[in-house]
Amino acid sequence: MSDAPALIEMRGVTKRYGGIPAIEKVDFTLRKGEIHALLGENGAGKSTLTKLMAGVVAPTAGEILLDGKPVSFGSPAEAMRDGINMVYQENSLVPSMTVAQNIFLGDESFFNKLRPLYIAAQQFLQSLNFNVDPWASVAGLGVAKKQMVEIARAVRQNARVIVFDEPTASLTPEEKHHFFALIRRLKADGVSIVFISHALEEALEISDRITILRDGKLVMSDDRSKFDRERIVTAMVGRALSRDLYGEGTKTYRKAGEKVLSVQNLSMGKVVRNTSFTVYAGQVTGMFGLIGSGRTETAKIIAGIAKRNFLHGGETRLGERSVRYRVPGQAVRDGIVYVTEDRKVEGFFDTMSIAENIGIGHIAAGFNKGLVVRTSEIAAIARTWSEKLAVRSINADARVIELSGGNQQKVVIAKSLVQKPRIIIFDEPTRGVDVGAIAEIHQLIERLADDGLAVIVISSYLPEILGISDRILVCQKGRVVEEFRTEDATEAKIMYAAVH
Amino acid sequence: MSPSFRPAFAFTQEQIVVAITLALLVLFSVTLDSFLTAGNILALIQNVSILGILGVAMALAIIGRGIDLSIVANMAVSVAWVLQLSNNGVPIEIAIVMGLGLALAIGLVNGFLVAYVEIPAIFATLAMGTVAYGFVRSLLLEDNLIYLKGAADTWFKWIGSGQVVGIPNSVLLFGLVAVVAHVVLRITVPGRFIYAMGDNPTAARSTGIPIRPLIVLQYVTAAAIAFVAGVIAATSVDSVETRIVRSNLVYDVILVVVIGGVGLSGGKGSIRNVIVGTLLIGVLVNGMTIMNVAYTLQNIIKSLILLTAIVIDSLMNPRDEQTSQQGDI
């Protein structure tokens, strides 16, 4: 394998976002017809590396060679013309169009006759062995089928390289099996595959070569045969004990305190179906589930964020009191806060400074007496919390948009903590957060539980759930289906409950 | 947008507009004899003070990620009704209270439609402007043009036509409205909330800000400010021409807000930007009037200036993939 000619070669590429290097002086080679796994922890720079390949961003320094000739892509469209396609974590399909329309998107003839289009799409999908109806609207498809449509689109554009950003994160084991079969077929046709993954077993199972990044730098890049699980983990984390980060072994589990929140038969449309569970003070309650299991929606109902009408049934009890919030403001005043999984869209205010962001949390909780904002008081509070959470920035007036993912997340958390919550819900607290900050956020979560708060952590990353929770709830299809004490739980048991 | 992405010579749109305004000031002072006199400068500001006050109302809506296309209609019909009532023998004080009530009611409906019925502000206020004009004109007013007759000899007349220490009231009131609005936006709780809501409404809501009452407050306040502008306009020319609703005035208002650097996407800019935009338009129109430039040509020049400012801003502060990808590594 290793003697196949190089298709893409990156030499000493560096990419900085606002002065902060996302990747630094990385050399990377992709050969013809190989499956290349890209591994690394959150924030290691995997996404950035693939974005450089696909022309989404341009390198700050270094050069990219395609077939031995230097190239610089001005846009993803230019990279696509040279046969490099990317299948994103977030879907890039047009939901309101049909499968066939999406496959041919941007490539329609001027007089776009629909019938031939659908026939062509049908034949094409069959040639790939994809069981997808070309007439179906994309919005109604499951994650796996959407991915098939994206892949079909890439293959149809004569892709020589297809980059997958965490393709298996939301697939069931069965779908995963199909996906791997497909990748092998593409490889047999001479297509080079790059895929980013969190799951080491996957990489070991199907890749030909593996590249590992850490903190934006290349750690190693070699044939699969040179790797085993232990070696990968050591390379990714930079020290031998990988489970360090997620506190293995000697951990003591917290006892359940007072029962602060109980949810009974909560429902909302088809997303949350008749779910019941209880949350205790002084403990971290982990919530695991695949995408579509209704975890986020359940949390948003509890925090009053979901717009829910009176037909949707169920009861939420805060202590002994039955509550039903119409707006998040009511929940905040009752001491329930929700830290979002998508901080850019619903977390922070990007034109505002760190202090202003934290200040808005303080004012919105009703702690600012009177109508005039007490600027100096808020500045002091913001300073205290920035220090407590170790928010690192060049200066205090820096706008949140200029910070790294981990620091942004800390600001969003601080904005919620100034509201003095009794129950705090973290939704994917370490998504898109750099490795150093992950450990800090985990320590913070533990400290909150030690201080007597009821903490709920939603995560789809099993080591995180197992490492941080005292108790684990597993969601599936809109309800909590299993409850584990963390002592008794294993990755296999949790996954089994989440899927079956 | 981190500083490192900007070219070293980058200026904000506000700074660009200030520079253009100063350049025009110098140009007109040198080339036009009668331009740089105290009288003319005061007249210049007086001419744009109504525009400026309406700009403050509009900026309030735009900073909170809304827009209010009904302010011109609101101002015209509510103040026309005040004059009509006083002409019919109602004491001016009571007429003002009723007119203000009408203006606030229109603002309240705007706010309700946007906040609770969740209609996009641009449609809700466009429709509301037409509805308000239609109803008031056909049910409450006798004519399109209402003269100030009943209250011509009272203190009311003084509001728009008087002056204090040589400065016309309209200029002073523009300054007063601008200062009050600026202070409210900067240091009060609702002001901070409006910025937060304009920046990111979803985040504002989940942080616990009462979004819906805030939106209502925003449109009611804009209506009140529009009423003040209407009173000044009516008392300075002794009449209200309700057909102003059919004019381009509302676009001019948006122009002064946007040209000064208030972002249409919400959360960006302040009242200072409105003042800067208003002064630019004031200087431009005044100079062109002295030069006897035809009205249609003035419009063309105004719109070209707006385009230029926006183009320069977008060249100097590019919004590209890199800036939107911040922190996503």
Site from B197, B206, B273 to mutate, A interface, most A CB atoms within 10 angstroms: B206
The answer to whether residues B199 and A400 touch, using CB atoms and an 8 Å cutoff, is: no
Of A55, A404, A37, whose CA–CA distance to A215 is shortest? A404
Task: Give A192's strand partners.
Answer: A161
Nearest 5°: the CA angle A49, A50, A52 is 70
Query: A219 — phi, psi (to 5°)?
Result: -95, -55
Site from B186, B207, B325 to mutate, A interface, most A CB atoms within 10 angstroms: B207
The answer to whether residues A263 and A314 touch, using CB atoms and an 8 Å cutoff, is: yes
Give Cα B118 distance to the centre of its chain. 24
Number of A to B CB contacts under 8 A, please give it: 127
Beta strand extents in A269-347 (DSSP E only): 272-280, 283-288, 315-318, 321-323, 336-339
Gyration radius of chain B over CA positions: 21
Number of structural domains in chain B: 1
pLDDT of residue A205: 85
The answer to whether residues B59 and B273 touch, using CB atoms and an 8 Å cutoff, is: yes
CB-side neighbour CA atoms (13 Å) of B53: 29
Asked if the Cβ–Cβ distance from A373 to B192 is below 8 Å, we say yes
Most distant CA pair in chain B, distance: 71
Give every CB contact of residue A79 below 8 A, 6+ residues apart in sequence. Answer: A53, A54, A55, A73, A85, A86
> Mind listing the pLDDT tens digit for each residue in B89-121?
999 999 999 999 999 999 999 999 999 999 999
Element (H, E) at A62: strand A61-66
Q: Which two tokens stand for residue B230?
A: 């209407």
pLDDT of residue A398: 78
Handedness of CA A293, A296, A297, A301 (dihedral sign): positive
Site from A332, A360, A367, A427 to mutate, B interface, most B CB atoms within 10 angstroms: A360
Task: Give B173's strand partners.
Answer: none
pLDDT-derived band of residue B5, with 50, 70 and 90 as boundaries? very low
Model ipTM? 0.86
Q: What is the dihedral of CA A49, A55, A56, A59, to 10 degrees?
A: 60
Enter the CATH code of domain A6-245.
Answer: 3.40.50.300
Element (H, E) at B217: helix B211-237
CA distance B156 to chain A (A): 32
d(CA A490, CA B11): 57
**More confident of the two residues A31 and B264:** A31
Q: Which two tokens stand for residue B133?
A: 């004009």
d(CA A263, CA A278): 6
d(CA A85, CA A158): 9
pLDDT of residue A393: 75
d(CA B220, CA B240): 22
Of B40, B225, B165, whose CA–CA distance to B233 is shortest? B225
Give every CB contact of residue A297 below 8 A, 6+ residues apart in sequence. Answer: A268, A271, A272, A306, A478
Q: Which two tokens stand for residue A310?
A: 């009176």
Nearest 5°: the CA angle B185, B187, B190 is 55
Average pLDDT estimate for B41-45: 88
Element (H, E) at A25: strand A20-31
Amino acid, single-letter form, for residue A86: M
CA distance B207 to chain A (A): 6
d(CA B278, CA A238): 59
Give every CB contact of residue B313 below 8 A, 6+ residues apart in sequence. Answer: B12, B13, B16, B261
d(CA A351, CA B323): 13
The answer to whether residues A356 and A349 touch, using CB atoms and an 8 Å cutoff, is: yes
pLDDT-derived band of residue B326, with 50, 70 and 90 as boundaries? very low
- Region label for A132, one of left (φ > 0), alpha (ψ between -120 and 50) or beta (otherwise): beta
Nearest CB among A17, A45, A375 relative to B326 is that of: A17
d(CA B147, CA B151): 10
Nearest CB among B5, B203, B321 relative to A349 is that of: B203
Q: Which residues of A touch B196 (CB under 8 A)?
A: 349, 352, 360
The answer to whether residues A118 and A132 touch, using CB atoms and an 8 Å cutoff, is: no
Angle between helices B38-63 and B249-259 (to 10 degrees): 90
pLDDT of residue B320: 44
Of A34, A94, A23, whose CA–CA distance to A59 is shortest? A23
The answer to whether residues B255 and B309 touch, using CB atoms and an 8 Å cutoff, is: no
Tell whether A409 lies on the interface with B, counting CB pairs under 8 A.
Answer: no
The answer to whether residues A421 and A450 touch, using CB atoms and an 8 Å cutoff, is: no
d(CA A445, CA A45): 25
In which residue are the tokens 């109302």 written?
A: B57
Nearest CB among A327, A346, A404 relative to B203 is that of: A346
The answer to whether residues A355 and A379 touch, using CB atoms and an 8 Å cutoff, is: yes
The answer to whether residues B150 and B89 touch, using CB atoms and an 8 Å cutoff, is: yes
Of A148, A163, A204, A177, whose CA–CA distance to A73 is shortest? A163
d(CA B243, CA B240): 9
In which residue are the tokens 């993803």 written?
A: A76
pLDDT of residue B318: 57
Q: Which two tokens stand for residue A194?
A: 């790059």
Q: Residue B272 belongs to what domain range?
A: 3-317
CA distances from A102 to A107, A116, A131, A134, B115 (A): 10, 14, 16, 9, 35
Average pLDDT taken over every residue of chain B: 88
pLDDT of residue B235: 93
In which residue are the tokens 């089928």 written?
A: A145
Nearest CB among A17, A329, A365 relative to B327 is that of: A17
Q: Is A461 exposed, middle or buried (0-12, 13-18, 19+ CB in 10 A)?
A: middle
Instruction: Give a yes or no: residue B326 inside a domain.
Output: no
Give contacts of A 32-51 with B, CB under 8 A: 43, 45, 47-48
CA distance B180 to chain A (A): 13
Residue B283 has pLDDT above 60, yes or no: yes
Q: What does each of the 500 residues of chain A score in pLDDT, given as a tens digit?
A: 456 788 899 999 988 876 667 888 999 999 998 999 998 776 678 888 888 888 888 888 889 998 888 988 888 888 888 888 888 766 678 888 889 988 888 777 777 778 888 988 999 888 877 788 888 888 888 777 888 888 888 888 888 899 888 777 666 677 778 788 888 888 988 899 998 877 777 888 889 999 998 878 888 888 888 888 778 877 776 654 444 455 544 567 888 899 999 999 998 888 888 999 999 999 999 999 876 788 999 999 999 998 777 667 889 999 999 998 989 999 999 999 999 988 888 899 988 999 999 999 999 999 998 999 999 999 999 999 999 998 887 676 778 887 878 889 999 999 999 999 999 999 999 877 776 788 889 999 999 999 999 999 998 878 889 889 999 999 988 899 999 998 888 888 888 888 76
Instruction: Give a yes or no: residue B328 inside a domain.
Output: no
Tell me if residue A432 falls in helix, strand or coil.
coil
Asked if the Cβ–Cβ distance from A17 to B210 is below 8 Å, we say no
Q: Which two tokens stand for residue A365?
A: 């909780």
The DSSP symbol for A372 reads B
d(CA A321, CA A308): 20
Instruction: Give a yes or no: residue B42 inside a domain.
Output: yes
d(CA B119, CA B115): 8
Give contacts of B 196-255 with A, CB under 8 A: 196, 199-200, 202-212
Query: A447 — phi, psi (to 5°)?
Result: -65, -40
pTM for the model: 0.79
Residue B4 has pLDDT above 60, yes or no: no
Instruction: Give a yes or no: residue B269 inside a domain.
Output: yes
Asked if the Cβ–Cβ distance from B193 to A328 is below 8 Å, we say no
Nearest 5°: the CA angle B173, B261, B38 is 40
d(CA A69, CA B243): 67
Residue B3 has pLDDT above 80, yes or no: no
d(CA B274, CA B169): 19
Asked if the Cβ–Cβ distance from A403 to B327 is below 8 Å, we say yes
Q: Which fold has domain A259-499?
A: Rossmann fold (3.40.50)
Asked if the Cβ–Cβ distance from A43 to B329 is below 8 Å, we say yes
In chain A, domain spans: 6-245, 259-499
Instruction: Give a yes or no: residue B323 inside a domain.
Output: no
Asked if the Cβ–Cβ distance from A18 to B5 is below 8 Å, we say yes
In which residue are the tokens 């791997």 written?
A: A180
User: For A68-142, where are the alpha helices, taking DSSP H only?
Assistant: 76-81, 99-103, 114-127
The answer to whether residues A5 and A368 touch, using CB atoms and an 8 Å cutoff, is: no
Q: Which residues of A touch B205 (CB under 8 A)?
A: 305, 327-328
CA distance B37 to chain A (A): 41
pLDDT of residue A250: 54
- Among the residue ranges A28-42, B9-23, B68-82, B119-133, the one predicted with the least confidence is B9-23
Residue B323 has pLDDT above 60, yes or no: no
pLDDT-derived band of residue B315, with 50, 70 and 90 as boundaries? confident
Nearest CB among A333, A371, A432 relative to B188 is that of: A371
Residue B327 has pLDDT above 70, yes or no: no
